[in-house]
Amino acid sequence: MKKVTLLTSTAALLTVLSAPAFAQSEIATGADATGISGIDDRITDIEDAVTDSFDRDNDPDRFGPADRRTGLFGTMSLSYTGRTGNTENQDLAIAGRVNHNEGPFAQSVGLSIEFGEDDNGNKDQEEVNAIYDAQYYFNDQFYAFALGRISQNGLVDGERNSDAQSDEDFAAEFTNFRRDAFLGFGPGYRVINTPDTAWRVQAGVGVRYTQTGAAYAGTNTFIDSDGDVVVTDGDTSSNTDVGYIASSRLYHRFNETVFITNDTDYLGSSDSDDVITNEFGVNFRVSEQLATRVSYTTEYQENRAIRTNNRVGVAVVYGF
C-alpha cells in the first residue's frame, strides 16, 4: 500500500515575529476584460503562500490552552461558478471549520466539499474531505491528542465517467483510493516551556483505512498504459493498517529578532514504508517592515529508490 505522510503535530509553536500584512490595492474598472484581475489574483496567491510559511510557526498553542479563544466559533464559505457560451460547465466548493474550546479541552472539525462538471455535463470532480483535531490538557505539561481524517473521491467508482475518459484514467480507478481515513491518538508532553525555549514531544498509535477499486461487483475490462488487456472483478478492495506516530516540536529564541524551529514527524507500520520528515527553520525579524524565514526540509521514505528528498525554502515579507 502506498504510504503518505498522514500526521503532523496537533500544534506548532508561537513565534515572536509580527509579520507586516500585505496591502490590498483596488483594481481599476476594466481590469477583468484586460486580464489585470487574473494577474492580481495570482499576486495575491503568491503573497498568501509566503505569509502561510510564517503562520505555520505562529501558533498560539505554544503555551497550551491559556491564550485560546473560548466557546464555539468557526467559518463557512461557498463558491459556485457556472459557465455558458463557448464552454458549458460548473464548479461548486463548500468549506467550513468549527472550533469549540472550553477549559482544558479544545477541538475542531473541518469540512470541504467540491463538485464539478465538464463541458459534456459529466462529473470531473466529486470530493469530500473532513478532519478532526482535539487536545485535552491534564496540566501545563501533560496532554492527550486525537487526530482524524476522512477523504472520499466519488469518481473512483469503477465506471467510465464519459466516452472521453482515457483507458489510463479508467485503470487508475482500481488503484486510486475511493475512501481514505485515518485516526490517531496518544499522549504529549512539554519538556521545556519557557518564553525563550519550548520543546514538545508526542507519540501514539494510528489506524488507516483505505478502499480502492469499484464500489460495486461486476467485471471490468480495460487496456493499461502498456497496451495490455486487464480484467478486474470490480469488487471493492479495502485495507486496514495500524501504524505508529511520533512528533517533536522545538522552538528557541536567541533575541528579539532571531529564532529557530525544528519540527520532526515519524510514521511507521509493519505493512507500509516508514516515513520521517524534518523541517528546520531560521526566522529573522530584520525590522518592523521586513521579515525573513529560511527553511530546510528533509523527507525520508523507506524502500524508495532515492530514500531522501531535500528542499530549501526562503520566504520574505516586506511591508511599506
For the CA atoms of 12, 18, 20, 21, the dihedral, rounded to the nearest 10 degrees, stands at 50
Alpha-carbon distances, residue 127 vs 109, 146, 158, 181 (angstroms): 17, 24, 16, 13
Higher-confidence residue of 294 and 243: namely 294
Position 69 pLDDT exceeds 60: yes
Measured CA to CA, the distance from residue 56 to residue 288 in angstroms comes to: 20
Measured CA to CA, the distance from residue 160 to residue 97 in angstroms comes to: 34
Name the nearest CA neighbour of 48 among 22, 19, 82. Answer: 22
Whether the CA torsion 36, 39, 45, 46 is positive or negative: it is: negative
pLDDT value, residue 317: 85
Q: How confident is the model at residue 22 (pLDDT cuts 50, 70, 90)?
A: very low
The type of residue at 234 is G
Cell numbers for 22, please give them. Answer: 500585505
Please give the model's pTM, rounded to 2 decimal places. 0.70
Mean pLDDT score of the chain: 78
What is the H or E stretch that residue 305 is in? Answer: none
Measured CA to CA, the distance from residue 310 to residue 279 in angstroms comes to: 10
Q: Other CB atoms closer than 10 Å to residue 267's CB: what's the count?
A: 26
Measured CA to CA, the distance from residue 310 to residue 319 in angstroms comes to: 30
pLDDT in tens, 121-143: 788 888 999 999 999 999 888 99
Name the nearest CA neighbour of 315 among 58, 46, 42. Answer: 46
The type of residue at 294 is V
Q: How confident is the model at residue 9 (pLDDT cuts 50, 70, 90)?
A: very low
Measured CA to CA, the distance from residue 256 to residue 287 in angstroms comes to: 10
pLDDT value, residue 236: 56
Name the nearest CA neighbour of 161 among 146, 177, 172, 145. Answer: 172
pLDDT value, residue 5: 33
Position 218 pLDDT exceeds 60: no
| Average pLDDT score over residue span 70-82 | 93
pLDDT value, residue 217: 42
Measured CA to CA, the distance from residue 275 to residue 309 in angstroms comes to: 11
Higher-confidence residue of 201 and 239: namely 201
Position 26 pLDDT exceeds 60: no
Compute the radius of gyration of the chain from its Cα atoms: 23
Position 220 pLDDT exceeds 80: no
pLDDT value, residue 80: 92
Measured CA to CA, the distance from residue 247 to residue 279 in angstroms comes to: 12
Name the nearest CA neighbour of 82 among 116, 40, 49, 56. Answer: 116
Domains of the chain: 35-279 (2.40.128)
H helix intervals, the chain? 31-34, 36-55, 167-172
pLDDT value, residue 184: 92
pLDDT in tens, 251-287: 898 988 899 999 999 988 777 678 899 999 998 887 8
